[in-house]
């Protein structure tokens, strides 16, 4: 078990370093000279600059150093928490992101929890419970699973904020204002998790050990809760790491729709202004968050399925 965890941790560090290398390469891949692009960005002009004019920038950002040196500088900087300097805000990227991280994490974690609750509720209530209820349940899941986040967000906004005025249009980070963004993320995910769980649930219900439990005199509800449920959630737990990725993508959109502060807002602005250090910084932070989350998912899996703890 300890070996497994250790190798997971090593792999996680490798993931972050790989992501760092990828973002570093991305920064190099920007067409044209970086100092020129930066100068244009900062002055709002579009022209050729002389070598003299560019020299201070080249010195400041180390654009003249050999690529290997730049790379090492970048990666070692990361371990000291230095994500580089934003081209547009001229502040350290870590600082730009720092304040925005918490609202985004709150949003995603809340959405994951709500999605699981929704999915389990719908599945438990409807799976293999007569034809009508079952088909209603699976139709709901199929529909919600294929809804794009932006559309769910816009519909929720128009219906509940603009028309019914139940929720604020721009919610900020207040609890009440968080409801719609969370639902925006949770509804499609719940549909997806529900589909996976329902498929597994249906299959597990047919397994011999379920029949065995019935031959002992167990009720249908008992069978579902005591035996089937635990098996049925395994695939969805495996997919939770992936789901988290989908949630982060969705969070960018949800924050955008509801004008909610968070790294999503920063990211979109940064991509628009082609502020690569900030984009890279966010990608890296998300990679780190993702890695930690996956470790947690692995642990959760081992708790539910002791076969893996061997």
Nearer to other proteins, 106 or 273 (CB): 273
- Piece of 51-59, 112-120, 140-148, 175-183 that binds other proteins (CB under 8 A): 140-148
User: Least distance in Å: CB of 14 to other proteins?
Assistant: 8
> Distance between CA 310 and CA 293 in Å, rounded?
22
268 part of the interface to other proteins, by CB under 8 A: yes
Nearer to other proteins, 28 or 59 (CB): 28
Nearer to other proteins, 94 or 228 (CB): 228
Q: Site residues for other proteins, window 184-223 (CB under 8 A)?
A: 207-209, 211-219, 222
249 part of the interface to other proteins, by CB under 8 A: yes
Asked whether 152 and 188 are in contact (CB, 8 A), the reply is yes
* Nearest CA among 81, 33, 80 for reference residue 61: 33
Asked whether 184 and 155 are in contact (CB, 8 A), the reply is no
105 part of the interface to other proteins, by CB under 8 A: no
Half-sphere exposure of 129 (CA within 13 A, CB side): 14
Q: Which residues contact 13 (CB under 8 A, 6 or more apart)?
A: none
Nearer to other proteins, 75 or 246 (CB): 246
Structure tokens that stand for 61 in this block = 């950002």
Asked whether 53 and 103 are in contact (CB, 8 A), the reply is no
259 part of the interface to other proteins, by CB under 8 A: no
Q: Site residues for other proteins, window 64-103 (CB under 8 A)?
A: none
The DSSP code sequence of 20-38 is: HHHHHHHHHHSSS-HHHHH
Nearer to other proteins, 51 or 164 (CB): 164
What 3-state class would DSSP assign to 165? coil
User: Least distance in Å: CB of 4 to other proteins?
Assistant: 12
């Amino acid at each position: 078990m300890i070996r497994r965890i250790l190798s997971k941790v090593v792999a996680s560090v490798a993931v972050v370093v790989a992501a760092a290398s990828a973002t570093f390469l991305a920064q190099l891949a920007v067409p044209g000279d970086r100092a020129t692009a930066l100068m244009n960005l900062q002055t709002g002009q579009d022209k050729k600059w002389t070598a003299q004019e560019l020299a201070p920038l080249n010195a400041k950002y180390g654009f003249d150093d050999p690529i290997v040196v730049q790379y090492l500088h970048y990666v070692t900087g990361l371990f000291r928490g230095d994500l580089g300097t934003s081209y547009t805000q001229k502040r350290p990227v870590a600082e730009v992101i720092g304040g925005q991280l918490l609202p985004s994490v709150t949003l995603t974690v809340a959405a994951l929890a709500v999605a699981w609750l929704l999915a389990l509720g719908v599945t438990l209530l409807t799976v293999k419970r007569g034809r009508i209820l079952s088909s209603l349940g699976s139709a709901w899941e199929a529909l919600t699973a294929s809804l794009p986040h932006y559309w769910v967000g816009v519909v929720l906004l128009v219906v509940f904020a603009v028309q019914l005025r139940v929720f604020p249009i721009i919610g900020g980070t207040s609890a009440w204002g968080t409801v719609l963004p969370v639902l925006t993320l949770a509804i499609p995910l719940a549909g997806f998790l529900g589909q996976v769980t329902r498929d597994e649930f249906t299959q597990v219900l047919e397994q011999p050990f379920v029949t065995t439990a019935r031959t002992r005199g167990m009720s249908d509800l008992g069978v579902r809760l005591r035996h089937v449920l635990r098996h049925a959630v395994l695939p969805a737990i495996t997919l939770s790491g992936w789901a988290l990725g989908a949630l982060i993508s969705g969070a960018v959109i949800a924050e955008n729709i509801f004008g909610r502060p968070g790294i999503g807002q920063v990211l979109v602005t940064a991509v628009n202004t082609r502020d690569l250090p900030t984009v890279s910084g966010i990608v890296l932070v998300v990679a780190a968050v993702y890695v930690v989350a996956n470790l947690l998912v692995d642990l959760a899996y081992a708790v539910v399925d002791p076969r893996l703890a061997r």
